[in-house]
Amino acid sequence: MYPLKVEIEDELDELVELLRDWRSGEELAARFGISRNAVWKKIQRLKEMGFEIEARKGKGYRVKYLPEFSVVSVLQAIKAAKAERIIRRVYYYTETDSTNNRAKNLDAGSLVIAERQLAGKGRLGREWLSEKGGLYFSIVLEPPLPIEDVPKITLAAGVAVADALLNFKARLKWPNDVLIDGKKVCGILSEISGEVERPKVIVGVGINVRNPVPDGAVNLASFGVTMEEVFREVVNSLVTRYVELCNGKWEKIRQRWIELADTIGKRVKVTAAGRTYVGKAIGLDLDGGLLLEVDGGIEKVYSGDCFYMVEGLKL
Ligand code: BTN
């Protein structure tokens, strides 16, 4: 399946806006400074993406049916967030293996989104179920940060999504699961590609909106929100936190992580770097590590798996 690739300056969203009324090919060509043939090509691309466009002699073109969520929604969200400098182009798939995989060889500034993933990837080699109705996207970033700061991008992304879903009482479970009522609504998978001196970071975000979810997970169906609304909030929040991080505001993000954390204060079992720690989560250290109180001492972990201990149960 090949994607619809759209550059921000393609103005495809404005074309759709104009096509709410009848527009002649000539008028559109003049408006965008392109040939009538180029207008026709853009219209064909929209049709491929599920837009129904009427064409009538003497009247021109008009949108008859607009999908609830489309590449136009993505472009609008990017523009509403004033994120054009960070996200410069969109690759929209109706179906692909994994947006993180598709993003791996792309330039920084690319956003890959799919309506459905056939091999969605979760953390630690797990599978991420990705049926239609959820949001599955990856952003390719080239952060002006040293490589050891890259994990902070993932923590910042968790904060961003939890803040975007604050109306639904979202909370964070270390390292970066977003929970609602103790159930997972969003997962984030960051991967590094490119060279060590100037690494590219792929931030992959999966949000359960209306898609069927596995046990222990939840979607947003009962809140009556649309994919478009969720995506718009999330993009805005992600870009805001990313810019903060790049501008040296990690401390602000760390404090917000702690405020939103569901994990802190809980007894946990964490497996990290081949070791297992059982203790109480007590904070997020200055460098982004989770602080654990274990047998009277303090341990710090940077990535791994975290389970909540049920009091009275031996794990
Ligand atoms: C987790 O295990 O919690 C992380 C899940 C990350 C899922 C997203 S969906 C978009 C992107 N593409 C993938 O294959 N995975 C991430």
The residue whose CA is least distant from atom 16 of ligand 1 is 204
Residue that has been written with the tokens 């341990």 in this structure: 299
Tokens of 150: 């890259």
Helix (H, G, I), strand (E, B) or coil at 165: coil
| Higher-scoring residue by pLDDT: 2, 25 | 25
227 plus 250 within the same structural domain: yes
Question: Is residue 158 in contact with ligand 1, taking CB distance under 6 Å?
Answer: no
287 band by pLDDT with thresholds 50, 70 and 90: very high
Is residue 15 scored above 90 in pLDDT?
A: yes
109 plus 147 within the same structural domain: yes
Is residue 253 scored above 80 in pLDDT?
A: yes
Question: Is 3 within a domain?
Answer: no
> What confidence score (pLDDT) does residue 306 get?
94
248 band by pLDDT with thresholds 50, 70 and 90: very high
Please write the tens of the pLDDT for every residue from 188-200: 999 998 877 788 9
Tokens of 81: 């967030």
Q: What is the 3-state secondary structure (H, E, C) of 79-107?
A: HHCCCCCCCCEEEEECCECCHHHHHCCCC
> What confidence score (pLDDT) does residue 50 get?
87
Question: Is 302 within a domain?
Answer: yes
Domain end residue (candidates: 28, 44, 65): 65
58 plus 169 within the same structural domain: no
Domain end residue (candidates: 218, 244, 260): 260
Neighbours of 196 (CB within 10 A): 7
Domain end residue (candidates: 48, 65, 82): 65
> What confidence score (pLDDT) does residue 146 get?
87
Question: Looking at residues 87-99, what average pLDDT do you find?
Answer: 96
Mean of the per-residue pLDDT values for the chain? Answer: 94
Share of the chain above pLDDT 70, in %: 98
80 plus 137 within the same structural domain: yes
Question: Is 286 within a domain?
Answer: yes
Q: Assign residue 43 the CATH number of its domain.
A: 1.10.10.10
Question: Is 203 within a domain?
Answer: yes
> What confidence score (pLDDT) does residue 10 get?
86
How far apart CA 24 and CA 58 sit, in angstroms, is 8
What is the Å distance from ligand 1's center to 9 Cα? 28
> What confidence score (pLDDT) does residue 198 get?
80
Please write the tens of the pLDDT for every residue from 36-54: 999 999 999 889 888 999 9
54 plus 94 within the same structural domain: no
Residues in Cβ contact with 128 at an 8 Å cutoff, skipping those fewer than 6 apart: 117, 120, 121, 122, 136, 187, 189, 206
Q: What total of structural domains would you count in the chain?
A: 3
What is the Å distance from ligand 1's center to 298 Cα? 31
Q: Assign residue 280 the CATH number of its domain.
A: 2.30.30.100
Question: Is residue 128 in contact with ligand 1, taking CB distance under 6 Å?
Answer: yes
The residue whose CA is least distant from atom 9 of ligand 1 is 206
96 bridge partner residues:
117
In angstroms, what is the C-alpha Rg of the chain? Answer: 22
How far apart CA 85 and CA 207 sit, in angstroms, is 24
Tokens of 264: 């802190």
102 plus 17 within the same structural domain: no
58 plus 175 within the same structural domain: no
> What confidence score (pLDDT) does residue 313 get?
55
> What confidence score (pLDDT) does residue 259 get?
97
271 plus 251 within the same structural domain: no
123 plus 226 within the same structural domain: yes
Residues in Cβ contact with 176 at an 8 Å cutoff, skipping those fewer than 6 apart: 154, 155, 157, 158, 187, 188
> What confidence score (pLDDT) does residue 19 get?
97
Cα pseudo-dihedral 231, 88, 241, 126, rounded to 10: 60
Question: Is 278 within a domain?
Answer: yes
pTM: 0.94
The residue whose CA is least distant from atom 7 of ligand 1 is 206
Question: Is residue 138 in contact with ligand 1, taking CB distance under 6 Å?
Answer: yes
37 is in which domain, residue-wise? 9-65
147 band by pLDDT with thresholds 50, 70 and 90: confident
Q: Assign residue 109 the CATH number of its domain.
A: 3.30.930.10
Question: Is 32 within a domain?
Answer: yes
> What confidence score (pLDDT) does residue 194 get?
82
Query: Which amino acid is present at 256?
Result: R
Classify strands 199-207 and 135-141 as parallel, antiparallel or unpaired: antiparallel
22 plus 78 within the same structural domain: no
The residue whose CA is least distant from atom 3 of ligand 1 is 187
> What confidence score (pLDDT) does residue 311 get?
67
> What confidence score (pLDDT) does residue 181 get?
96
Question: Is 2 within a domain?
Answer: no
214 plus 233 within the same structural domain: yes
Please write the tens of the pLDDT for every residue from 180-226: 999 999 999 999 988 777 889 999 999 999 999 999 999 999 999 99
Question: Is 225 within a domain?
Answer: yes
Question: Looking at residues 255-264, what average pLDDT do you find?
Answer: 97
281 plus 212 within the same structural domain: no
